[in-house]
Structure 1
Amino acid sequence: MNKYLLNISRKNIVLAAAAVATTLCYMQCSPKVTPTTASGATPTAAATPNTTPQLDQSKGLKDYFKDYFLVGVAVGSRSIQQDSALMIREFNSVTAENDMKMGVIHPTEDTYNWKNADNIVAFAERHKMKIRGHNLLWHTQAAEWMFVGPDGKPASKELLLKRLKDHIFAVAGRYKGKIYAWDVVNEAIDDTQDSTIVYRTGTTKTQKPSQFWGIFQSPEFIDAAFRFAHEADPKAKLYYNDYSSERPAKREKIFKVVKRLKDNGVPIDGVGFQGHWTLNIPTASQLRTALDQIISLGLDVQFTEVDVDVRVPQRPSGPPANGAAPTATRPAATTPDVDAGYTPEIEARQVAQYKMIFDILKEYKKHISSVTFWNVSDRASWLDGRGTGGAAASQTGPRTIRKAYPLLFDVNGQRKKAYWAVVNK
C-alpha cells in the first residue's frame, strides 16, 4: 500500500473511532426521561403475554393476587355444587349472581326466599371466603309489588320509601357482619350519549326506565338506599355499581352522581365498575381515565362483574366511529352475532386484552380492593344468551345461545392461556 492510501486509511479509522465515542457518550450521558400515567405511575411495558403454565398447579387466582386485591366470582346454587372445587382453589370472595336481588329474594310483600342466599353465605363462610352483596336496589329484577299502592294505583313516594327501607333492613340486617360490601344501587344512570340526561328518567326510549324514578322524580331514592344500608349494617362497605364505566359519556355521568352523593354526606365508600368488556373495549387510556376520576374523589374501586366477550357484532355499516359505545340506537338492521368458535385468533386477542387490563389493575392496586368475575367458566356464562355489549339482565324475547367464551376457565373448567397471561410476570 503506498503512503497516500495508508494516510487515508488511518484518517478513516480515526474518524470512525471518534463517531463511536460520540454516540456512546450521548447514550450514556443524556438525561433519562421516565414516562408516567395519569396516576403518576410508570406504565407497564408492552410485551408478548407469557402464557406458560406455572408448575405449581395448587395455587389459584387468590394466591397470585394476594398482595393486590381480593379475587371473587359470581355464583348460584348450581355453581356452588358443580364448581365448588375450582371455586375453593381459585377465589377468596363470592357474589350471589341473582339470589339476593330484590325480586328474587322478596317476591311479595310478606314473602322472603332466603334459602339460596343463605346457602351461598354458608358456603362462603365454610371456606373462609369474603361475601359481596348484590344488590339492594335495581330497576330490573325488582319486586313489582313495591310500586303498586293498596288501591291498585302507583304507590305514593312515602309508601315506596317505607317499603324500600323495610326491604333493605331485612336483607342487609339478616347478613349483618357476614357481607363485607354491598352494591347498594345498581345501574341507575342513563347510558345514552346525551349528557343532559343523567339518570334513567324514562325520557329516552332506548333503555328501560327506572320505576323508582317514575315515582320519586328525583334521585332521592338513591340517597335513601345508601342511608338505609348504612343504618342496617354500619360496618359494611357501600358501592354504586354500573356498566360502561370507562366509556366517556357514561363515565362523566357516574362521576357527577357519586360526587353529588359524597358532597351531600351520603354514606358511599366506592364505585363498582362492572367490567363487562369486549376484545377492544376498554382501551388502556379509557380504563386509566375512569379510575383516576373516581380515585380523585377519595373513593375505593371494585371490579364487580368481569368478563371479556369475544363475539364481534356484525353491523351493516361497520362498528361505531372512534370506538364509541354500542347503544340501543344502533341500526335496527343489525344482524345476529356470529359464533365463530374460540379460534386461535380470537384467543390471542382475548389474551392480550386480559393482560392489558390486569396490568393496569395491578398498577392501581392501592385503590382497588376487589376484582370479581361474573360466572365461573365458559361452560355457562350469562352472556351466552344475550347479544353483545350491554350489561343488565333485562333483555326480553327469545334468546339464542351463542357462546361468548368470556372467562379465564374453558368449557371444561381448565385454565385458559388468558389465565396464565394475567398471573405470570
Structure 2
Amino acid sequence: MLKNTLLLICLTIVFSAQKPNEEGLKDLFTDSFYIGVAVNGQQVSGKVPEELALIERHFNSLSPENGLKWEKVHPEMDRYDFEFGDAYVALGEKLGAFTIGHCLVWHQQVPNWVFVDEAGRLLGKEALLSRMEDHIAQVAGRYKGKIDGWDVVNEAFNEDGSYRESNWYKVAGKDFIKAAFRKAHEVDPAAELYYNDYNVWKASKRAGILTLAKEMKAEGIQIDGIGMQGHYMLESPSLEQIEQGIIEIAEAGFQVMITELDVDVLPRPGNTQGADLNINFANSPKYNPFANGISPESAAKLSQRYTDLFQLFQKHKDKISRVTFWGLHDGRSWLNNFPVRSRTNYPLLIDRDLKVKEDVFAKLKAISKD
C-alpha cells in the first residue's frame, strides 16, 4: 500500500511539471484509435520519472510487457506476486488510460509446474483446465473493473493455421482456448477479451485464427477482437498483406488491434519473421551494423515505414481500436536481443536519449489531419 502511495506522489510531481500545451502522439489520433505502449517494472514503480513523463505525454493506453505473464505473477503453485500488477493498474488509473492485461494464457513464460502433477507426470485435461481457470480467476479477478481488456490467449497457432503443439494443446486440444475465454468472461463480464498473435498478416495463419474465433462466437463465447502483433521490418510484410488482415478480421465481426508495434531496422539471419522467442542467434558484426548509430539511409527508411503504416491505420480507423508500441524507447526494446542477441536497434518512435524522432512525428501529425 505504501509503495502505491509513493508511486502516486511521484506521478503527481512528474505530470504536474508537463507543459500544458505539449502535443503528444495520442493527441494526434484522439479521434481515430488509442495509442498504447508496453511498460515495464521500473516504469510502473516510479523509478524512472523521465520515462513516466513521456508515457503521460504520448500514450492513452497501457500494456504490461512482462509483469502479468504467468511466470512473473504466479511463479509457484500456491504463490502469487501482485507487486507489479498493483502498481501497473494504479498507473493506468492515474493516467485515465485504457488498460490492457497481457496475457492470461501463453505457451511461453509459464512455469513447468503448471502442466505436471507431484510426480512430474503431465496432467490430464480436467486437471489442467482447472489449474488454468484458477489462475484466471485469481489474476483477472484481482483487477476486475481496473483492466479494460485482456489478451486472454496468446500465440496458439502455427504459420499454416494449425494449432501450436504446446502443452496446453497436447492435453486439452483447442478446448483450452475456449475454456480460457469462458472463464475470463465469467470473472469480469465488463472486460473486453482478445486473441493475440504475430504474423496475422499471413493468410494461412489468419484463416486458422478466424475459423476458431467465429466458432467461439457461434457458441456464445465472448471474443471481442484479434490483436495483430506489429513486429514488422523495413520492407516486409507488405502494406497490402497487413491491410488484407485488417479487412478480413473486421468483416468477420471483430475489433482489430495493432499490438506490439515496432520496426526492426537490422538485418536478420535467414527468414526469421514475427516473434517466436525460440529463435535466437549469437551476436556478430554482420547483424549489428549500427552499433554506433543508425545510418541516415536507414533512419529515412524507418521514417517512411512508420508513415506508410500509419496512413494505412488511419485509412481503417473505423476498424482499428488501438495501436500499441512494444516498448517506450529504443533502449527498452526487446529487439536489441531478438532474433540476434546484444544488438543496437532503433525500432521505436523515441530514441535512447528519450527524444522523439521529430521527422517521424511530423509526418504522423500530417497523416492525422486526413
Q: Structures share a fold, TM > 0.5?
A: yes
> Which whole-Å CA distance do the structure 2 matches of 1:251 and 1:363 have between them?
21
2:365 maps to 1:423: yes
Helix, strand or coil at the partner of 1:74: strand
Report the Cα offset of residue 254 of structure 1: 2.4
Distance in 2 of aligned mates of 1:239 and 1:169: 17
1:268 aligns with one of 223, 230, 240: 223
One-letter identity of the residue aligned with 2:23: K
2:176 is the counterpart of 1:221: yes
In 1, Cα distance between equivalents of 2:151 and 2:275: 25
The alpha-carbon deviation at position 76 of structure 1 amounts to 1.1
1:358 matched residue in structure 2: 310
What is the CA–CA distance in structure 2 between the aligned matches of 1:86 and 1:105, rounded to whole Å?
26
User: Which whole-Å deviations, capped at 9, do the CAs of 1:26-85 have from their partners, x for residues lacking one?
Assistant: xxxxxxxxxxxxxxxxxxxxxxxxxxxxxx970111111100011111001213432101
Pick the aligned partner of 1:287 from 234, 242, 250. 242
- Give the aligned partner of residue 68 of structure 1: 32
Selected match of 1:137 from 76, 91, 105: 105
| RMSD of Structure 2 on Structure 1 (CA) | 2.4
Q: Describe the SS at the equivalent of 1:183.
A: strand
Corresponding residue SS for 2:361? helix
- Give TM-score, length-normalised by structure 2: 0.86
Greater shift in the superposed pair: 149-158 or 255-264: 255-264
What is residue 3 of structure 2 aligned with on the other side?
none
Letter in 1 for 2:171: I
Deviation for aligned residue 1:265: 2.5
Aligned ranges for residues 172-187 of structure 1 at < 5 Å? 172-187=140-155
Gap change, CA 1:106 and 1:265, over 3 Å in 2: same
1:82-130: CA deviations, max 9, x gaps? 2101101111111111111111100111100000111111112112222
1:264 Cα deviation (Å)? 2.9
Structure 1 residues 11-410: aligned runs within 5 Å: 58-80=22-44, 81=46, 82=48, 83-191=51-159, 195=160, 198-201=162-165, 210-216=166-172, 218-313=173-268, 315=270, 337-340=287-290, 341-387=293-339, 400-410=341-351
AA of the residue aligned to 1:214: K
CA distance in 1, matches of 2:218, 2:162: 17
Q: Deviations over 1:381-409 (max 9, x none)?
A: 11101116xxxxxxxxxxx3112211001
1:256: how far off?
2.5
What SS does the aligned partner of 1:164 have?
helix
Residue 23 of structure 2 aligns to a residue whose secondary structure is coil
1:402 corresponds to which letter in structure 2?
Answer: R
Identity of aligned residues (%): 39
Secondary structure of the 2:252 match is coil
Go from structure 1 to structure 2 and tell me whether the alpha carbon gap of 1:253 and 1:403 turns closer, same or farther (over 3 Å shift).
farther
Contact conserved, 2:198 with 2:275, CA < 8 A, in 1?
Answer: no
SS of 2:180's equivalent in the other structure is: helix
How many residue pairs end up in the alignment?
339
Q: Which runs of 5 or more residues in structure 2 are unaligned?
A: 1-19
Letter in 2 for 1:170: Q
- In 2, Cα distance between equivalents of 1:97 and 1:219: 26
CA–CA separation in structure 2 for the residues paired with 1:343 and 1:333: 23
* Superposed displacement of residue 294, structure 1: 0.4
Change (3 A) 1:328 1:126: closer
What SS does the corresponding residue of 1:189 show, helix, strand or coil?
A: coil
Residues 328, 86 of structure 1: alpha-carbon distance in 2 compared, 3 angstrom cutoff:
closer
Task: Report the equivalent of 1:49.
Answer: none
Give the 3 Å change call, closer, same or farther, for CA 183–170 of structure 1 in structure 2: same
Conservation of the 8 A alpha-carbon contact between 2:268 and 2:287: yes
- After superposition, what is the alpha-carbon deviation per residue over 1:251-284, rounded to whole angstroms, capped at 9, x for unaligned? 3332323223223332100100110111012212
Q: 8 Å contact 2:231–2:275 — kept in the other structure?
A: no
Specify the alignment match of 1:6 in structure 2.
none
* Alpha-carbon shift at residue 314 of structure 1 (Å): 5.1
DSSP 3-state at the match of 2:294: coil
- Quick one: distance in 2 between partners of 1:326 and 1:101? 16
Which amino acid is 2:35 matched to? V
Q: Structure 1, unaligned stretches of length 5 or more?
A: 1-55, 202-209, 389-399
1:19 is matched with none
User: Alpha carbons of 1:70 and 1:333: their partners in 2 closer, same or farther (altered >3 Å)?
Assistant: closer
* Letter paired with 1:256: T
Displacement of 1:301: 0.8
Give the ranges of 4+ consecutive aligned residues of structure 1 lying more than 4 Å apart after TM superposition. 324-330, 332-336
